[in-house]
A and B are shown apart, each in its own frame.
Chain A
Amino acid sequence: MKINRRIFGLMAAAMMTALPAIAAAEYPERNITLVVPFPPGGGNDAMARIIGDAMTRVIGATVVVENKAGAGGVVGTQSVQHAKPDGYTLLLGHSGTMGINPHVYPAAAYHPTKDFTPVGLISEIPLALVVNKDLPVQDVAGLIALAKEKPGALSYASSGVGTGSHMAAELFAHNAGIEIAHIPYRGSGPAMTDLLGGRIDLLFGVIPSSHAQIAAGKARALAVTGAERSATMSEVPTMQEAGVEGYEAALIYGLLAPAGTPEDVVAKVNGALNTVLADPAVQEKLAVDGSVPRPGTPEYHGKALDADLEKWGALIRDAKIEIH
């Protein structure tokens, strides 16, 4: 069957002499699996399904989302690392799995650009510095002053060790030279619950869901962590505007393939991804999680991955964050 189809493809290609590369014209000839290294129902899963669904309509093959959860994303990530590099197995990777895990999990013995082929950046998710509504500070400077006055007295919640919300807070503490206590939770929901309940002073959360609490008067935002202000809460300054020099912490999300995936296949998937990211309907859906689309070439993605790995590695070294 397969041979017949290939011969048929060759014949068809021979007839259409204008076609440049036969291999690329063939890809994709079956379903593409997009591995999400987290369970269904989270932000990662939602993003993969939005992108996968849209790409199915562009690339000419069904993109099937497969959840391979476990060990903070290491299980699913490694399954793609060792998959056949033919473009039929793709990975949704982000700062947590690609930039932070290699520094904190001994089992995550992979390198984002050496063991994977970057296919294309999807988006950046900046966070918001959210404080308890009764905390007696009005801005970041006030928060830093309070933390310096009472070292170690303020508590911040994270959605777990080594997650973006943990690292963003550690980077803040490091750059501002303050001491705040880490209270880890399982996921962002319970962390926000204790902030609303008044037991936690601050946390770094995804902008739209934080905004929902802020709009209801249950919490306040002091800054956003991206390089630019967020459209959702445009009145809130960036960390740099608020006086924390050199602070930028946005989580990057992208598609990756196993190392050694052919360039023409990567180019085709990258093209489809960028087409999809230009679609306003897709942008609107991604915005629910605070995603800011960052379409670009595979090289652009590769540079972003290397920079991310370096940035979090430096923080974990310099701030002496003890994990294990």
Chain B
Amino acid sequence: MDLMSNLALGFSTAMSLQNLGLAFIGCLVGTLIGILPGVGPIATITMLLPITFGIDPVGALIMLAGIYYGAQYGGSTSAILVNIPGEAGSVVTALDGHAMAKKGRAGAALGISAIGSFIAGCIATVVIAALAVPLTDLALRFGPTDYFALMVMGLVFAVVLAHGSVLKAVAMILLGILLSTIGSDLETGQARMTFGSLHLADGIDFAVLAMGIFGFAEVLRNLEGGEQRDVIRGTMGPLLPTREEMRRSIAPILRGTGLGSVLGMLPGNGAVLAPFASYTLEKKLAKRPQDFGKGAIEAVAGPESANNAGAQTSFIPLLTLGIPPNAVMAIMVGAMMIQGIVPGPQVMTESPALFWGMIASMWIGNLMLLVINLPLVGMWVRLLKVPYRLLFPAILIFSCIGIYSIDNNPMDVVFTGGFAIAGYLLIKMGFEPAPLLLGFVLGHLIEENLRRAMLLSRGELSTFAENPLSLILLMISVGLLLLSALPTLRAKREEVFVED
């Protein structure tokens, strides 16, 4: 068995004392930095990249991968505890995770996301080891038309994400798309809606927007009255998920893992959709969909698993082609180059120890995360018992540090403040921020892939119909939209989903 001998080589590489230590340090440091509110994996890896320069290539990449998983997990922790997502993936976690925290089930939310991530990580590692090469060629067939159709379908998910009025959700999605168009035009280089400011030339950073309209706005809302504070300080219940919660979470974890694994391997950053898709799926399948948005454990377990599986399988294009599918992987490519490795398909055959060592270390890293994080759950939960009048200045200060450290740019902090006020007003008027963020994230991808598809087809709209995959995806989206627009169904939907 080739696979077995390859995996044996991988584990013998990754299990060396040095590499085990590096994986551990990577996971630990990644978790600790990633927990800074708003600091997601990209910012964390960027900050910690230089510490890997003095290490041999295999060790350096294992450590970076550890930092990546660690930061991803740390990001979920701050999303659950203080409602501040550091990257697109944890927006979904923030929805029900934070709601669980408010209900005194922060420990369960943190625990299930650690367990779900671990299970997803284990399965995704096997997928990568066994199927990376054949899947790569399949994923390459996915072109701009297909990405466009897939992202449009993602927007339809955004409607499901909201639990209030459909009209308001659509308005938020459109606002998000609009915000995503700020910055230089990809085709012409023209500055759009920048008001001549160089600061806006690259558009708005996701973390700045998310931290403002989610986290800071949440702080403002909490400061209104004493009610919610007491809820957070209330009884904690059992620290970890109960047997009943575990039972409810298993199926969502497995479904999320499947979705995440498939979307993650697309070289065009399909992983970003994984948690949203999982949330939508779980809400459709749930016995009590009205609990979604109010602290349903399935809504944490599924998306968290999808996110982690997607994060893991997004290594496939990097490992098999040397092509980074997203910003995090692009940093990994940079790290490889500094180590003197030309990223490409030859890494697999020329440095098998590196290739299989990385894969083996993914599993080890996931195990370490579980070992590091389960004991920490108690500590994070105790943090919530700190009186809010002491907690909120700390949240704000750490958030500002986090935002500033992403780009060393004070303007980012100012922007976050602006978005906080906007976010607060939106919440007061019954608009939810999650669809806005999804619109923002997908806006870029939709625009770029639409225009690229049009350029490649020399302006023929029929390109979307000629391509079977994009045609099917678009038809599903239209179908879903029609369903939600039908008056009878909408009435039922509103009856089910309206809050208060």
Instruction: Give the interface of A toward B (CB within 8 A).
Output: 39-43, 45-46, 49-50, 53, 65-72, 74-75, 78, 104-105, 107, 152, 155, 160-162, 181-187, 189-190, 192-194, 196-197, 199-200, 208-209, 211-213, 215-216, 218, 284-285, 288-289, 322-324
- Does residue B187 face the partner (Cβ distance < 8 Å to A)? yes
> In the complex, how many residues of chain B place their beta carbon closer than 8 angstroms to a beta carbon of chain A?
50
Residue of B184, B187, B331 near A72 (CB, 8 A) is B184
Shortest beta-carbon distance from B324 to chain A in Å: 5
- B49 touches A (CB below 8 Å): yes
Question: What would be 25 A-B contacts, judged by CB atoms less than 8 Å apart?
Answer: A41-B331, A41-B335, A45-B334, A49-B53, A50-B338, A70-B202, A70-B407, A71-B202, A72-B189, A104-B189, A161-B187, A181-B455, A183-B452, A183-B456, A189-B267, A190-B268, A192-B321, A193-B323, A196-B321, A196-B323, A199-B456, A212-B344, A216-B346, A218-B321, A288-B337
Contact for B140 among A53, A75, A182, A193, CB less than 8 A: A193
With CB as the reference atom, state the residue of chain A lying closest to B328: A41
Chain B nearest CB, measured from A177 CB (Å): 21
| Other A-B pairs, 6, CB within 8 Å; known A65-B50, A216-B345 | A45-B334, A70-B198, A104-B189, A161-B184, A161-B188, A193-B323
**Nearest-CB residue, chain A, relative to B444:** A186
Taking a contact as CB atoms under 8 Å apart, the answer to whether B143 and A42 are in contact is no
Task: State the CA gap A65–B335 with chains docked (Å).
Answer: 15
Give a binary string over B392-428; 1 marks a CB under 8 Å from any A CB, 0 the rest: 0000000000000001100000000000000000000
Is B330 touching A41 in the complex (CB atoms < 8 A)? yes
Is A209's CB under 8 angstroms from B342's CB?
A: yes
> What A residues does B187 contact at CB under 8 A?
161, 184
**Residue of B whose beta carbon sits closest to that of A69:** B407
**In the complex, what distance in Å separates the CA atom of A161 from the CA atom of B455?**
14
- Residues of B close to A155: CB separation below 8 A: 455-456
Name B297-330 residues within 8 Å CB distance of A. Answer: 317, 321-325, 330
Q: How far is the CA of A185 from the CA of B186 in the complex (A)?
A: 7
Residues 444-459 of chain B: 1 if any A CB is under 8 Å from the residue's CB, otherwise 0?
0000100010011010
Whether A46 pairs with B346 at a CB distance below 8 angstroms is no
Minimum distance in angstroms from A199 CB to a CB of chain B: 5
Q: How far is the CB of B270 from chain A (nearest CB, A)?
A: 12
Contact assessment for B321 and A107 in the assembled complex, using a CB-CB cutoff below 8 Å: no
* Distance of A190 Cα from B408 Cα, bound (Å): 27
Instruction: Please list the residues of chain B having a beta carbon within 8 angstroms of any beta carbon in chain A.
Output: 45-46, 49-50, 53, 140-144, 184, 186-190, 198-199, 201-202, 267-268, 317, 321-325, 330-335, 337-338, 340-346, 407-408, 448, 452, 455-456, 458
Q: Top 10 closest A-B pairs, CB basis?
A: A212-B344, A41-B334, A41-B331, A71-B201, A216-B345, A161-B189, A197-B140, A46-B337, A208-B342, A189-B323
| Contact across chains for B188 and A68 when beta carbons are under 8 A apart | no
Is the beta-carbon distance between B190 and A46 smaller than 8 angstroms?
no
Known: A184-B187, A209-B322, A323-B189. A194 touches B143 (CB 8 A): yes
Contacting A193 at CB < 8 Å: which of B317, B334, B340? B317
Which residue in B46, B144, B198 is a CB contact (below 8 Å) of A40?
Answer: B46
**Nearest-neighbor residue (CB-CB) of A39 within chain B:** B46
A65 CA / B50 CA spacing, docked (Å): 10
> Please, which residues of chain B bring their CB within 8 A of the CB of A68?
408
Contact A213 B344 (CB under 8 A): yes
Q: How far is the CB of B274 from chain A (nearest CB, A)?
A: 19
